[in-house]
Amino acid sequence: MRKYKQYPKYKPSGVEWMGVIPEGWGLKRLRFCAEINPKWGGGVLNGLKDTDEVSFVPMEDVPENETDLIAEKTALLEKVKNGYTFFTEGDVIVAKITPCYENGKGAIAGKLVNGVAFGTTELHVIKAGKELTNKYLFYYTKLKGFREHGEASMKGAAGQKRVPELYFKDCLIPMPKYAAQKEITNFIDKEAGRIDKVIEKQKQFIELLKEKRAAVITHAVTKGLDPKAKMKTSGVDWIGDIPEGWEAKRLKFLLKPQKGAVKSGPFGAHLKIDDMKGTDVKVYDQKNVIERDINEGSSYISNEKFEELQGFEVFKGDLLVTTRGTIGRCYIVPDNAERGILHPCLMRVQLDERKIDPLLIEILINDSSFFLEQMRALSNGTTIEVIYTETIKNIIIITPPKSEQAEIIKYLNEEIYHTDKVIEKTEKWIDLMQEYRQSLVIAAVTGQIDVRDAE
């Protein structure tokens, strides 16, 4: 990493997380160098009619990792001038509600229709004064120390906590000269931009690895491992040829020959939040599947409730599939699983192991597009909100002879392992670069490094 020079002399800032700042820099409460949540009226709206368009910014349009706000939505002034947060060109906006605040949602408002915007009420607006550039102010609001102390000041009930306006008014901001602020933000833009480009390339590399992994899996489970194998038509146009001795079967023909081999969790009316405050029988939910950890979660029902919901019991070896939210993830219930039932957002699939190895289906669902592409086709849409039992039963599975399945699973596990190791290493490197980026911004904004002559 590059080394930067420091300022000749420093002085205590009086702010624990900030430490020292350069001698010659000022330190002011934000209320004395910026306007917090300015009120609208007169001035900026002069000449605008109620029927004129202005930018409209819901929370989902406020970025987490970008400097500039891209406000693509518009609304008539008369529809939004009451009940929404007002801001104008160049203002800095910061989300105030959890978890948007902790996630870093915020930006500099720009390219607003008629220079005006109205947005979600869950925003604080900061208008930089004459001594402060809006970009230096923006970078200050992204600092880890500023964010963490704002989080500690939050008021309200769990899930609805907000950073109060008073925190913004009273927080102390280091104040280099106006020209120095521009030099600092130019440096951050340049250096952070370089880092972001490198990170983006690594993220693209990860996506390519994932695509390659999915392609390897799809090929292995539809064409086999022997490139010289004799092929035959599968009878399914989009699958094409498959090796001789293999079959294309719908999942329903690979299930255990018993009632309830595919079973969705109980309807919400049958399993309420209060029911899950028992201590006897575990309720397995999406987190168990996504985290691949059977011990996750603390929801239990009573033995009496279990008697009522016994048809939703989870057994060792069942394939659990997420059916809502993060859909299409699956996990084989291990031997050490305690007695439990399905959460409404899960489905259990009980496979006939004489016909198909559950590990093969687990790999197919988790690590290739083979499953979700069929789900989309069967659901007649590009997005899938819920997976239904009849839909999953009709998924086509290419079924090798049992004698070949173990060999394919061994090959795929090795391929997945090696690919995942590379992905994991790359993700750790990205995390380190993001930490370095954040430390560089902190150091520049608080004067820990002198970037005035940095190339």
Q: What is the pLDDT of residue 267?
A: 86
How many angstroms separate the CA atoms of 294 and 338, rounded? 9
E-strand stretches of 18-78: 20-22, 26-29, 34-36, 53-57, 74-76
Q: Are 282 and 303 in contact (CB under 8 A)?
A: no
Contact 362, 331 (CB under 8 A): yes
Residue closest to 346 by CA, chosen among 302, 383, 392? 392
Query: Rounded distance, CA 2 to CA 454, Å?
Result: 11
- The per-residue pLDDT string of the chain (455 residues; one tens digit each, 9 = 90 and over) reads 578 899 999 999 999 999 999 999 999 999 999 999 998 765 556 678 889 999 999 999 999 989 999 899 999 999 998 899 999 999 999 999 999 999 999 999 999 999 999 999 999 999 999 999 999 999 999 999 999 999 999 999 877 899 999 999 999 999 999 999 999 999 999 999 999 999 999 999 999 999 999 999 999 999 999 999 999 999 888 889 999 999 999 999 999 999 999 999 998 778 998 999 999 999 999 999 999 999 999 999 999 999 999 999 999 999 999 998 888 899 999 999 999 999 999 999 999 999 999 999 999 999 888 888 888 877 766 567 788 999 999 999 999 999 999 999 999 999 999 999 999 999 999 999 999 999 999 999 999 999 987 66
Which residue type occupies 42?
G
Structural domains in the chain, CATH included, are 26-175 (3.90.220.20), 247-399 (3.90.220.20)
Three-state secondary structure of 357-423? CHHHHHHHHHHCCHHHHHHHHHHCCCCCCECCHHHHHCCEEEECCHHHHHHHHHHHHHHHHHHHHHH
Nearest to 109 by CA among 63, 170, 150: 63
Question: Which parts of 302-378 are beta strand (E)?
Answer: 313-314, 319-322, 330-332, 340-342, 346-349
**Residue 306 belongs to what H/E stretch?**
helix 303-308
**What pLDDT score was predicted for residue 289?**
96
Please tell me the predicted confidence (pLDDT) of residue 44: 59
